[in-house]
Chain A
Amino acid sequence: MKNSKENIVLKTENLTIGYQQKKRTKIIRSEINLEIKKGKLVAILGKNGIGKSTLLRTLSKVQEPLSGKIFINQKNIQELSEKELSTQLSLVLTERLPESQLTVYELIALGRQPYTNWIDKLCASDIEKIEVAIEQTEIEHLKNSRFHELSDGQLQRVLIARALAQDTEIIILDEPTAHLDMHHTIKIFSLLKELVLKTQKTIIISSHEVNLAIQLADEMMLLSSDTFHFGSPSELIKANAFTTLFPKELVRFNKTLAQFVITKI
């Protein structure tokens, strides 16, 4: 019993997410209770504006929860300093990076900041971690390019490498395949899956790639306006959870194919 508890890296208790505006409180979702185990690829799905990003932002402490608690390795993240949290959790965001002349290597090296001294000196172990991250994401050939010259697909791999260099147990990615074509989308998904298997990290992503997520994710979280499902893809298929994801007029979930198909044109 103790063993299974130790395997839970991220846990939420009655978490309510949303925005605190001046007078009103806008609740996006309440009573979220999650337990995410070590070494899993978790995909959060739901239509635009349903609160995927808000959830991820709250889990990563970019934004404060309205109520409830979040635990990383049994520690309440409210009690962790930014520095402590940065060794537990790393991010890949959708926001565009400010235009600078950083090289790919420098950008990945920034991932070592939680471990470097006050002047940001890279020691041997830092350099090794950076090299491993570069190798795992297969971007050796891009090392000396400037990041602003890269294609969206390459940049996404570089940002993943940066998160890997940060050497955290949890990596959260907000729509990592947002601007990518099918080929690069699959490439990113399989890279993430591979990383989960190889490194036993927990990777949490938000995505619109339902069909891919069903095939590759270990756990899925389905958000719709009034329901919330969490479980493995096969469990969710059995429970007919996917039908809640989109309005039924256009697409319908086909259980035997395990994917969405267009109802009619």
Chain B
Amino acid sequence: MKEKNHSNHFLLLSVILIVFFFINIRFGSVPIPFKDIFNILFGGDISKDSWETIIINFRVPKAITAILVGSGLSVCGLLMQTLFRNPLAGPFVLGISSGASLGVAILILGSSIFGGALLTNSLSNLSLPIAASFGAFLVLSSVILAANKVRNTMSILIIGLMFGSLTSAVISVLAYFSEAAQIQQYLFWSFGSLGNLSWNELIVLSCIYSVGIVGTIFVIKPLNSLLLGESYAKSLGINIKKSRNIILLITSLLTGVITAFSGPIAFVGLAVPHITKIIFSSSNHKILLPATAIIGAIILLICDSIAQLPTSDFILPINAITSFFGAPVVIWLLVRKKKLYV
């Protein structure tokens, strides 16, 4: 298929990504000039020692997290939309994020109910992502089990929503029996935040992220044939069951680990694939997958830059910003184009 025509698009997007990466690092409670940022990152004279700590230990990990989270969630949204052949699908709508929340809720809130056996004071690096991935995978497999029975895609979405509210109900019950400190810890997690990751945690996130993203390259072929529906995909020699399981595994792994570290971040997974499809006007996953990843990264970098309210001490919940600025963008794109594609 003709990919060459899009190389300019990709070049432009990469430049935008790099620009917003530095803009994201530039702004914060302490303004640091670009000159010093470059000196810190690439070696050179530094005006203030504290700036180096801020850049290296806080802002760069946060910007990298934004890139990983933004691209990861967007790719998951794209996978879900194609798998279900439904433009409304996304990690959020299908209850996958709620599943991850449930995993985290059981870990954080459950520790106060079932005693500290589950969790000691320090949330160890891996227990949170494992719990979140497990929760995401649990909900997603339940949705799939139900999906195999009903077949109708609209019903699948509604089933996903129902699983979402079921998990919220379980979380409410858990919260009711928990102590205030745990509830607060969970609540802060659920606001979403990109800034809480240490370098060690970032390494864990990027390892699992890489596994997921590399996995998507192997499902490009089945994804493209699924654009014709399952019967055609099967007649083209695609092993539907195997492909579907791989796609679901990648989605739950990525959504789970991202949600674990950054909290449930709304809007990105649903909207970015559509923004990409409108910009590139293509359905070919060889183009869509990398494009969705880059655009997702850019958008989350922008949202995060806005969230830290330049030059102020406040940081707004990232979740609010993504929905607040994202939803109107999608509505505007849709009103203009009047059509959503799988």
Q: How far is the CB of B309 from chain A (nearest CB, A)?
A: 38
Q: How far is the CB of A156 from chain B (nearest CB, A)?
A: 14
Compute how far the CA of A124 lies from the CA of B210 in the bound complex, rounded to whole angstroms.
33
Number of chain A interface residues as a range: 20 to 34
Bound-state Cα–Cα, A176 to B258, Å: 47
Interface 1/0 per residue, A104-116 and B, CB below 8 Å: 0111011101101
For window 313-342 of B, CB contacts with A under 8 Å fall at 339-342
Interface residues on B, range: 20 to 34
Whether B244 sits at the interface, judged by CB under 8 Å, is: no
**Given contacts A99-B341, A100-B342, A118-B221, A87 and B283 within 8 Å (CB-CB):** no
Could you mark each residue 225-247 of chain B with 1 if its beta carbon is under 8 Å from any beta carbon of chain A, else 0? 10111011011111100000000
Question: Chain A's nearest CB lies how many Å from the CB of B260?
Answer: 31
Are B277's CB and A91's CB within 8 A?
no
Partner of A110, one of B218, B225, B339: B225
In the bound assembly, the distance between CA atoms of A62 and B236 in angstroms comes to 12
A86 and B237 within 8 A (CB): yes
Query: Does the CB pair A106–B229 fall under 8 Å?
Result: no
Within 191-241 of B, Cβ neighbours of A (below 8 Å) are at: 217-218, 220-221, 224-225, 227-229, 231-232, 234-239
Is residue A95 contacting chain B, with contact meaning CB distance below 8 A?
yes
Which A residues are in CB contact (< 8 Å) with B232?
91, 93, 97, 110
Min Cβ gap B292→A in Å is 14
Judged by a CB distance under 8 angstroms, whether B155 is at the interface is no
> With the chains together, A100 CA to B284 CA distance in Å?
9
A225 is an interface residue with CB less than 8 A from chain B: no
Across-interface contacts of A91 in B (CB, < 8 A): 231-232, 235
Residues of A contacting B234 in the complex (Cβ-Cβ under 8 angstroms): 62, 82
A-side contacts of B229, CB under 8 Å: 93, 95, 97-98
Q: What per-residue 1/0 map shows which CB atoms of A183-216 lie under 8 Å from chain B?
A: 0000000000000000000000000000000000
Contacts of A106 in B (CB 8 A): 1, 283-284
Q: A101 and B282 in contact (CB under 8 A), knowing A60-B235, A83-B237?
A: yes
Q: How far is the CA of A143 from the CA of B148 in the complex (A)?
A: 36
Complex CA–CA separation, A99 to B227 (angstroms): 8
Cβ B237 vs Cβ A85 within 8 A: yes
Decide if B227 touches A82 in the complex (CB within 8 Å). no
Complex CA–CA separation, A91 to B238 (angstroms): 14
Is residue A257 contacting chain B, with contact meaning CB distance below 8 A?
no
Instruction: Return B286 CB to nearest CB of chain A, in Å.
Output: 7
Whether A72 sits at the interface, judged by CB under 8 Å, is no
Q: What is the interface of chain A, defined by CB distance below 8 A to chain B?
A: 60, 62, 81-87, 89-91, 93, 95, 97-102, 105-107, 109-111, 113-114, 116, 118-120, 122, 166
Q: A101-B341, A113-B221 are in contact. List 20 more A-B contacts (CB 8 A).
A: A60-B235, A62-B231, A62-B235, A81-B237, A82-B234, A97-B228, A97-B229, A99-B342, A101-B277, A101-B283, A102-B227, A105-B1, A105-B2, A106-B1, A110-B228, A113-B224, A114-B236, A116-B221, A119-B217, A120-B224
